[in-house]
C-alpha cells in the first residue's frame, strides 16, 4: 500500500508540473558526486540506468540535459573539495552516490537540491529532519536502515549457529552517523539472541587484518560489516581477511560475496535509479525537494557464497537456500 500510495502521489504531483519539454527553456545540469572511479562497474551501471530513466521522462543529454559526473576514485578526503567544485558550477540538482558523498555535498550547499542514492540512516546522519518531510535541501533513497540489524544477526547465526559474539567492522569517519545508530541497534538485536557485539572502529586499511585476526582469537566469533564506503572500498581486503582467519561474516553489499565473502543482505539497489530519476524530474519541473519523502527499498537481496560456507565448515541450511536471491557456488 505504501508503494501504491507513493506512486499515486508522484503521479498527482507530476500532473501539476510542466512537462520536461515546456520546463526546459534552458539546458538543465544534473551533477553526480561519486566516491568511486569512473570506470568502476557499479558506476558504469548506475550512471547508465540513471541516463535511461531520465530519458524516459523527457530529459536527454544534448537536448535539454547536461550530466556533470565527478568521480572521486575512492579518496574520501577529497570529497568535500569535489563537492565544492560542483557547487561552484551551480547545477540544478546534485545526486550523491552514498552517505559519504551526501555529507560532502551538504557541507558545500544548503540551497541546491541534493539527492542521495543509497544513504543509510538519513535522519541519524542529519541529512533530513524526518523521513516523511525532509524539510531541507536533501532527500533520496535508502536501502539499508538500522532497523535491519536484527535481520543481519538472524542470518549470520542461522548459517553459523555457534556464533556467540560479532565483531562490528566500520570506519566512524565514513559510516552513516559515525556508525553509532548501527552499533546501538546491533547490540539490542544481538542481545535477544545471546550474542555479544564487539565494537571495532577502524581508520585505515592497515588496521583491517590485525583487527580481524584479534577477533579470531576467541572461538564462536562472527563478523558484521555495516554500510560504510570505507569497507566497501576495501571489500576484497575485508573478505580475504575474514576467510584467512576462518570467521563467518555477513556484509551489506554483494561486492563482498563476489570477493569471496560468505553472505550479504541488503535492500534492492536497482530501485534507486528509478526513484532518483523520478525525483530529478520533479525537481527540474519545479517540485520542492523539502517536500519529497525519503523512500526505502521495496525488495531485499540475500546472496550466499556456498563455496565460502564449505571452506568454513558450514552447511547451508534449506531455510536459507530457499530464501536466497542468488547462491554463488
Assess whether 99 and 32 both reside in one domain: yes
Same structural domain, 158 and 53: no
Q: Are residues 44 and 118 in the same domain?
A: yes
Helix (H) / strand (E) element for 305: namely strand 300-305
Average pLDDT over every residue of 49-55: 96
> What are the pLDDT digits (tens) for 193-203?
999 999 999 99
What pLDDT digit, counting tens, does each position of 78-114 carry?
Answer: 888 999 999 999 999 999 988 889 999 999 999 999 9
User: Does 117 have pLDDT greater than 60?
Assistant: yes
For the chain, the domain total comes to 2
User: 313: burial class by Cβ within 10 Å (0-12, 13-18, 19+)?
Assistant: exposed
Of 64-78, 97-111, 287-301, the one with minimum mean pLDDT is: 64-78
pLDDT tier, 2 (very low <50, low <70, confident <90, very high otherwise): very low
Are 225 and 262 within 8 A, CB to CB? no
Q: State which residues form the domain around 309.
A: 146-266+300-328
The yes-or-no verdict on residue 270 having pLDDT over 90 is no
Whether 100 and 176 share a structural domain: no
pLDDT, residue 73, reads 61
pTM attached to this predicted model: 0.84
First-residue to last-residue Cα distance in the chain: 37
Residue 6 in grid coordinates: 507513493
Cα Rg for the chain, rounded, in angstroms?
Answer: 20
- pLDDT band for position 147 (50/70/90)? confident
Q: Judge if 32 and 104 occupy the same domain.
A: yes
C-alpha cell read off for 175: 559510516
Statement to judge: residues 262 and 287 lie in one domain: no
Tell me the pLDDT band of 5, cut-offs 50, 70 and 90. Answer: very low
Mean pLDDT value of segment 7-18? 53
For residues 179 and 114, state if they share a domain. no
Residues 154 and 127 in one domain: no
Q: Is 88 exposed, middle or buried (0-12, 13-18, 19+ CB in 10 A)?
A: exposed
Distance CA 295, CA 131 (A): 8
113 and 205 inside one domain: no
Three-point CA angle 56, 59, 65, nearest 5° = 150
Does residue 277 share a domain with residue 248?
Answer: no
CA neighbours closer than 13 Å in the CB half-sphere of residue 231 = 32
d(CA 304, CA 321): 8
CATH number at residue 319: 3.40.50.2300
Mean pLDDT for 115-136 is 91
Question: Do 65 and 180 sit in the same domain of this protein?
Answer: no
What is the four-CA torsion angle of 191, 194, 200, 206, rounded to 10 degrees? -150
Amino acid at each position: 500500500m505504501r508503494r501504491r500510495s507513493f506512486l499515486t502521489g508522484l503521479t498527482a504531483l507530476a500532473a501539476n508540473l510542466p512537462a520536461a519539454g515546456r520546463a526546459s527553456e534552458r539546458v538543465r545540469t544534473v551533477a553526480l558526486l561519486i566516491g568511486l572511479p569512473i570506470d568502476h562497474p557499479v558506476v558504469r551501471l548506475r550512471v547508465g540506468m540513471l541516463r535511461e530513466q531520465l530519458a524516459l521522462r523527457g530529459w536527454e543529454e544534448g537536448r535539454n540535459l547536461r550530466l556533470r559526473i565527478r568521480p572521486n576514485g575512492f579518496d574520501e578526503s577529497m570529497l568535500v573539495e569535489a563537492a565544492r567544485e560542483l557547487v561552484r558550477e551551480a547545477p540544478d540538482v546534485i545526486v550523491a552516490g552514498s552517505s559519504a558523498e551526501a555529507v560532502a555535498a551538504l557541507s558545500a550547499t544548503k540551497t541546491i537540491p541534493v539527492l542521495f542514492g543509497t544513504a543509510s540512516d538519513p535522519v541519524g546522519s542529519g541529512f533530513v529532519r524526518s523521513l516523511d518531510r525532509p524539510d531541507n535541501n536533501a532527500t533520496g533513497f535508502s536501502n539499508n536502515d538500522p532497523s535491519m540489524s536484527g535481520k543481519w544477526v538472524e542470518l549470520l547465526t542461522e548459517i553459523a549457529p555457534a556464533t556467540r559474539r560479532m565483531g562490528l567492522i566500520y570506519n566512524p569517519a565514513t559510516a552513516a552517523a559515525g556508525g553509532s545508530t548501527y552499533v546501538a541497534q546491533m547490540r539490542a538485536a544481538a542481545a535477544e539472541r545471546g550474542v555479544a557485539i564487539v565494537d571495532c572502529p577502524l581508520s585505515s586499511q592497515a588496521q583491517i587484518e590485525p583487527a580481524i585476526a584479534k577477533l579470531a582469537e576467541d572461538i564462536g566469533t562472527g563478523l558484521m560489516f555495516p554500510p560504510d564506503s570505507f569497507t566497501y572500498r576495501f571489500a576484497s581486503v575485508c573478505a580475504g581477511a575474514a576467510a584467512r582467519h576462518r570467521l563467518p561474516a555477513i556484509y551489506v553489499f554483494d561486492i563482498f560475496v563476489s570477493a569471496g565473502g560468505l553472505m550479504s543482505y541488503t535492500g534492492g539497489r536497482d530501485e534507486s535509479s528509478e526513484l532518483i530519476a523520478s525525483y530529478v524530474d520533479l525537481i527540474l519541473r519545479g517540485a520542492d525537494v523539502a517536500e519529497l519523502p525519503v523512500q526505502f527499498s521495496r525488495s531485499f537481496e540475500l546472496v550466499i557464497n556456498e563455496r565460502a560456507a564449505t571452506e568454513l565448515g558450514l552447511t547451508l541450511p534449506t531455510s536459507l537456500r530457499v530464501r536466497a536471491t542468488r547462491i554463488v557456488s
